[in-house]
Chain A
Amino acid sequence: MSIFKVGEVLPAKTYIINRASLVAYANASGDQNPIHQDEDFAKSVGLENVIAHGMYTMGLVGQYVGRMAGSSSNVKEFSARFTKPVIVPANTDVELVVSATVVELTDEIARLELSVTCNDVKVLGMTKAVILL
């Protein structure tokens, strides 16, 4: 018996993104593109400011999905479209708000659609996951 119901909205969680967390992600992932760390460089290529790695944002959502699934080992599929950049000004904690709706249930899996916003702007689109029950 699943603990989920189709149509159920799972509790939202807020993740904090700041310059220090982008440096930590760059070091852990190996993605050292300066647009994620160097404000002057980011502006020189036409960005408003430093932006978060898309995969950092998706990684945080992956942690949310893993938590909802009971363990990251229960996450079977996970996909997203990088719709809008998450802009991270200096000395600022940016809030990423993640929630999920259960859109399909079988005996084995639940299919989730996720909402991922920053200042009420959707930053990831078509964010979906399949988790093992």
Chain B
Amino acid sequence: MLNPDLVGRTFEGVTSTTITAESISAFARSLGEPEIHLAPPTFAITISLEQSQSVLVESGLDWSRVVHGDQKFEIYTPLMAGMQISCNSTIESARVVAGNEIVTVRSDLINAGEVAVTSWSTLVFRA
């Protein structure tokens, strides 16, 4: 079970990710969009989910038991190739329902000191 003291804590990303035109076009192509230069609305997940995974696994949760429950994005500035993104993840809530642990992580994707996209992932760790 997640240590309740971690709720509210922010984990700053230790590395930054440079968004490439190739990563955007591969993601867009996999969604059936042949030619696109702007990141699809859900592209932020390629950065935020990995960070959430590392934070929660380090906090003792078993990633092999995870199911994605809810997802929300707020997009202030669309992600584009060339942006260098750092990601801060905050454990916003954690509760146990019927033995399943439900954790919501907010990830702020920061470009040049400004939050470009905020992603909230609610993850269910099955009992």
Contacts and interface: CB of A to CB of B under 8 A. Distances in A.
Given A66-B41, A72-B41, A79-B71, A60 B78 contact: no
A98 B36 CA distance: 21
Contacts, number: 91
A28 B72 contact: no
A63 B45 contact: no
Given A28-B27, A79-B71, A63 B78 contact: no
Contacts of B42: 55, 58-59, 62, 78
Interface stretch (A4-12, A19-27, A86-94, A105-113): A19-27
Chain B interface size, as a band, is 20 to 34
- Most A CB contacts (10 A, CB to CB) among B31, B32, B68, B69 go to B31
Interface residues of A, number: 31
27 contacts: A24-B30, A27-B26, A27-B30, A28-B23, A28-B26, A28-B46, A29-B27, A30-B46, A56-B30, A56-B31, A59-B45, A60-B31, A60-B32, A62-B42, A63-B33, A63-B40, A72-B36, A76-B75, A76-B76, A77-B74, A78-B72, A78-B73, A79-B72, A79-B73, A80-B71, A80-B72, A126-B70
